[in-house]
Amino acid sequence: MSVPAAYLAVVLIWSTTPLGIVWSSETVSPTLAVLMRMVIAAVLGFILLKLKSMSIPGNRQAMKVYGFSALGIFGGMLFSYMAAAYISSGMMSLIFGLSPVFSGLLAQKILNEAKFSWMRKLAMTVSLFGLALVCMNNLSVSEQSPLGLVFILLAVFFFSLSAVLVKSVKVAIHPMASTVGSLLVSIPLFLLTWLVFDGTLPVEQWQARSLWAILYLGVFGSLIGFVAYYYVLQKLSASTVTLITMMTPVLALTMGAYLNNEAVSVNLIIGAVFVMTGLAIYNWGEKLLPGKRLADTAEE
């Protein structure tokens, strides 16, 4: 796969994943929908590994990676599916766009990374203000929205925590092997959750759109998208990859409005602009500082 094709694939997959989650949970319970998705991804990934004569490393460091990754897969996905019952797919994508900020805060505590500069603090303030506008808009639209907001914020927290913890492990594992290993660790957790909170198989209630969405998310959202993301991460600069998190919320909001008739109010648009502006400042604002420009020039 070429780098441009992989990059475009990540953008499209990440943009359509929230809507896929909403559709897959329409007639299939959220706990079963996410379980089916992960099983499909794991089975296909395992087959691909065998075809490529690749194995899943089982050393201690690799197991740490699988465990930390499974934390993000299980916590991030489970709460995302639970949130889908209360908030729109566009809003889910918009709030997930804040994951770099969450990761930065967690990295300060876990990895002892430097504290935010005043520029990044400004960026965080702008993004949170935009998030507050979006939340107030949803609170006025639906009485159930507060629960959905809690769920999606928990999903972002677990996703970001997982990313930081994985970063703390020094080990080289092929993206495909890492993906399948993490899925195999997370699937028993999803199975247990489904058994405890649902445990039923009302097949007669399932509709084609939900089943096709589950299949799409299993093949693309949980396997191809993840592998393509790590591929572009290896081939392109971090700033170029970061553009993905800037584009996907806009595309997700648009798709949700046109394909799922999701309401897009003026407050939501204004809030989204603030969130995206804050993310832009967070990712590139420091490069505008005189000291940072001089340091970058010296490194070159």
Yes or no: say if 95 and 152 are a contact pair by the CB < 8 Å rule: yes
Residue 223: pLDDT above 90?
no
Average pLDDT over residues 269-296: 71
Burial of 258 per CB tally in 10 Å (0-12, 13-18, 19+): exposed
Pick the most confident of 32-36, 277-281, 289-293: 32-36
In order, the DSSP letters of 29-80 are -HHHHHHHHHHHHHHHHHHHHHHTT-----SHHHHHHHHHHHHIIIIIHHHH
Average pLDDT over residues 100-122: 83
- State residue 89's pLDDT score: 83
Question: Residue 199, by phi and psi: left (phi above 0), alpha (psi -120 to 50) or beta?
Answer: left
pLDDT band of residue 166 (cuts 50, 70, 90) is confident
Residue 253: pLDDT above 90?
no
Identify the CA nearest to 255 among candidates 3, 21, 7: 21
Average pLDDT over residues 260-272: 79
Average pLDDT over residues 153-167: 89
Higher pLDDT pick, 46 / 236: 46
How do residues 64-96 score in pLDDT, each as one tens digit?
Answer: 989 998 998 999 999 999 998 888 888 888 888
Yes or no: say if 113 and 178 are a contact pair by the CB < 8 Å rule: no
- Percent of the chain scoring above 70 in pLDDT: 88
> What's the mean per-residue pLDDT of the chain?
83
Average pLDDT over residues 267-280: 82
Residue 299: pLDDT above 80?
no
Residue 247: pLDDT above 90?
no
The structure tokens 């994943």 sit at 17
Higher pLDDT pick, 192 / 105: 192
pTM over 0.75: yes
Identify the CA nearest to 22 among candidates 172, 120, 113, 152: 152
- State residue 125's pLDDT score: 87
Lowest model confidence (mean pLDDT) among 80-84, 176-180, 285-289: 285-289
- State residue 115's pLDDT score: 82
- State residue 77's pLDDT score: 92
Residue 115 identity (one-letter amino acid): K
Return the number of other C-beta atoms located less than 10 Å from residue 96's C-beta. Answer: 24
- State residue 296's pLDDT score: 46
Q: Is the dihedral of CA 74, 63, 106, 126 positive or negative?
A: negative
Lowest model confidence (mean pLDDT) among 98-102, 155-159, 210-214: 98-102
Query: How far is Cα 294 from Cα 251, in angstroms, rounded to an integer?
Result: 36
Write the CB contacts of 298 (distance below 8 Å, at least 6 apart in sequence): none
Query: How far is Cα 283 from Cα 278, in angstroms, rounded to an integer?
Result: 9
Identify the CA nearest to 49 among candidates 187, 223, 190: 223
Residue 291: pLDDT above 60?
no
